[in-house]
Each structure stands twice: as C-alpha cells, then as structure tokens.
Amino acid sequence: MAEQVLLQLLEAGVVNVGGEDVRLEKLQNTAKDLAATLKKTPEATSYWTMAAADPTVDPAEPIIQEAWGVLKKHWTTVANTYQSIPVTLLRACLLDAIVQTAAQNDHIGVAFVNTARNILPHVEVADEAGVWTTALSEVQARVDARAEREWATPETIKLGAMDYQAPTGFVIGSKKRVTNVENLSAGILAASGPTGGDQNPHWPNDVTNWVNEFAPRLAKAVAASIDGVAAANAIDPVDLAPALSELSSAVENYVGEALGAFSGATAGLQRRTNLLWWKEAVYSPSARISYRTLPAYPAAALMALDLFRQTPTFSPGSVSAFLEEAILLLPAAKDAEPKPVADLITEIRESKPLEPVRAASGQYANPPKGRGPILALLGHGDAVTIDAESLRKFSGLQPSVKLSPEGWGALIFRELQAARATAKTPGRRA
C-alpha cells in the first residue's frame, strides 16, 4: 500500500492526471520528496495528516504551500495547467508521503494513526474514504503488532548460559613426600646413648641423667622429621583473587540479565494491573482529586492525561477504548449531552483543576500558527481566541461538531500519544 496510495486515489477518481503517465510520475516524485522531508522532521506528521485529511483545507495553509512548492519543482508548468492551487493533488501527495514514511518508521505510524482517527470522523473525505481506511488499517496493524509485543506477558522466560569460563593453568594438591626413615633412626639412636659424636652422653642405667638428655633429643629428631615432611609437601601459594573476581562479575551480570528479562516479561502484566487499579480507584494522580468531584467533561480530559502518563508510546488501539469505558463509568458522564468543541476548549482553558492538562498540552504542542492539534489551543490559550472561525482554521473542525465526554477524552489522549511519538525530545514539544 505504501507505494500505491496515489494509484488508489487515481482509481477512485480523486486524482485526475488527464490520462498522462508523465503527470502521475511527477506526483509520485513529489510524494517521494515529501516523504524524505517527513523522515527528517517526524514531528510534522500530525500537522500533515490533518491537512491531508481535510478536503476544505485552505490553499494558503503553510503545509499546502510547502507541498505546492515541491510539486512545482517537479512540474514546472503546473501553475499554467490549473487555474488555482490543486489542493486535492497536494493532499494526495501528502497522504502518499505519510504512508511511505510510516511503513519505515513506527513512531510516525503512531502519530498518523492517532491523528487520523481523531480527524476523519469529522471531515467529508467522500471518494477518498476507501483509500484512507485501507492505509489507516495497514499502519494500525503494524503499530498494534509492535505494541502487543511490548505489552505481552510470555508464559516462560528463557535465559542463556552464564558467560563464564573457569580459569586454567593451576592445580591445587599436595606432593607425595614421606618421612626420611634413615635420618629419623639416626636421631633416635643418638638420643639413646653415647655411641659416638653428638649423642646422649649417658646410658639408660643412669636413669635421671639419661632421661633428661633422651627426651629433648628424641623430640628434636621427631620434630625435624615432621617438619621435613611438611616442608616437602607444602602447596605453592595460589592467587585466587582474579578468578573469584571474574566469577563474581559473571554472576552479577547473569543475575542482572535474569532480573531484566523477568522485569521485561512482566511489564505488560504490571501495566494492565496498574490500569485496572486506576480505573477502579477513580482518582487522578495528576490533580490529586477524585474524578467524581468534577463535571463530566473536565473529568474526561483529566482521565485522558492520566492514562497517557501511564502508557508507553506504543499502545494497542484498545487502550483508547479502555479510556472511553472508564469515562462512561462516571455517573456524570452517563447522561451528559454532547457539547461543542469550542466550549470544551474554553472550559479547559479556564478550569483550575485542569492546569495539568494545559501544562501537558503546551509541553507537547507549539503555539497555533496553522493547521494543527487541539493541544496547541489548549496549551497556549493566550495565542488565539477561540471562535467558530479560529476553530475551523486551526483544527479543521466545523463549529457544529459536538463531542461526548468519552469522545472528548479519547481525542485528547490520541493527540497526546501522537505528539509524544514524534517529539524531538521525549516530554517536550516538537
């Protein structure tokens, strides 16, 4: 699909090149250049997606103007071919570029999927719907596959063998040396009586003197024999410190890898457990209040932020459905009437408990200058006044669009997910 978006739009009758393959090739080259640009600036994904999805986008929109400049580079006579800027062709090139890049970069895929799911229900793509649906489905499947791997809890954890080799080159053992019987016999004989030389000068019949000489001489002879055997069988010193140090490091690394594998294997289970706890507690860790103390729409916005902070960039599409069900559990949300988006933006701007939502929005989105996420309008309230015209200009949403509490919460959650996925620095706006 990544290389067929323009062809799909051509078959659907959305793109018209007058039956000239050369024109189609120029559009494909334009999409290729735009894809290269998006690859270098992935933070633009949400903005490009919003412009590409809106058939009524203003030709003066900066993103459209950027695409127009690239198209003119490949098609020098395009301005003479069309009476006005061919917005439809440019939107087609943008979509083609986004899908191409998303096939290579899962972070761009996350931003594209979340942004498209927010904007498509509120614009009239008409004949383009099939192409958008197919592209969105394929990118969503790829992103969900990665998310499911990160959230999965394996039945078993496999560890390799410990990386350690026992040292070689030394053997610990005694020598087989025995007592020198001749030397010991000579010593005993010398202690027994005056047979000549340095010996006992007394015979046994001189008991007192003989014993006084015999005992120390015999002890000296036996001790010398024992010491000789001990010295002959002595074990050479062996320095075990390096070997033990290597063993200690190998065990430490192996245990660390085992704990890391266990932690990674159970991360998905722990994450799900934490989310269930959060859902049942009905308590906001950001504002430190119960969601039940807030009206339905402020509570939904705060729940979106809190869920966003508990989930990683790659999360299954079911997470936004989980959020919607959690919001619907609030008594205030069950009977809440849909409200215009402009009123919801103003509510967040003015609500004191929603300061965390405003801060996070400003952190992840630049001040509004052209088509972009609603986060820009939430986090930079002093940049633009919200009315029907500004809402349409900056978000692409008609003033008539109304959202339910769960729809509002899901929209904010997906925008935060999209912004974080492609932020230049995690936790800071692109």
Residue 426 has pLDDT above 60, yes or no: no
State the DSSP string of 274-333.
Answer: HHHHHHHHTEETTTTEEGGGS-HHHHHHHHHHHHHHHS-SS--THHHHHHHHHHHTSHHH
Q: What is the pLDDT of residues 396-420, one digit of tens each?
A: 888 889 999 999 999 999 999 999 9
How confident is the prediction for the chain on average, in pLDDT? 84
> What is the per-residue pLDDT for 249?
78
Average the pLDDT over 226-251 and give the result.
72
Contacts of 295 (CB under 8 A, 6+ apart): 332
- Output the 3-class SS for 342-381: HHHHHHHHHCHHHHHHHHHHHHHCCCCCCCCCHHHHHHCC
Which of 40, 93, 35, 61 lies closest to 368 in space, CA to CA? 61
With a cut of 60, say whether residue 167 has pLDDT above it.
Answer: yes
Task: Determine the Cα–Cα distance for residues 408 and 414; give it in Å rounded to an integer.
Answer: 10
Query: Residue 232 belongs to what H/E stretch?
Result: helix 207-232
Cβ proximity of 29 and 97 under 8 Å = no
Whether pLDDT at 278 is above 90: yes
pLDDT tens profile 101-126: 999 999 999 999 999 999 999 988 87
Residue 194 φ then ψ, to 5°? -80, 80
pLDDT tens-digit series, residues 327-345: 999 999 988 999 999 999 9
Cα dihedral 396, 399, 404, 409, rounded to 10, equals 40
Question: With 90 as the cut, is the pLDDT of residue 311 above it?
Answer: yes
Spatial separation of the C-alpha atoms in residues 404 and 406, rounded to whole Å: 5
**Domain boundaries defined on the chain:** 5-151, 181-232, 282-421
Question: What would the two tokens of residue 34 be?
Answer: 């735009």
Bridge partners of residue 403, in order along the sequence? 339
339's enclosing H/E stretch is: strand 339-340
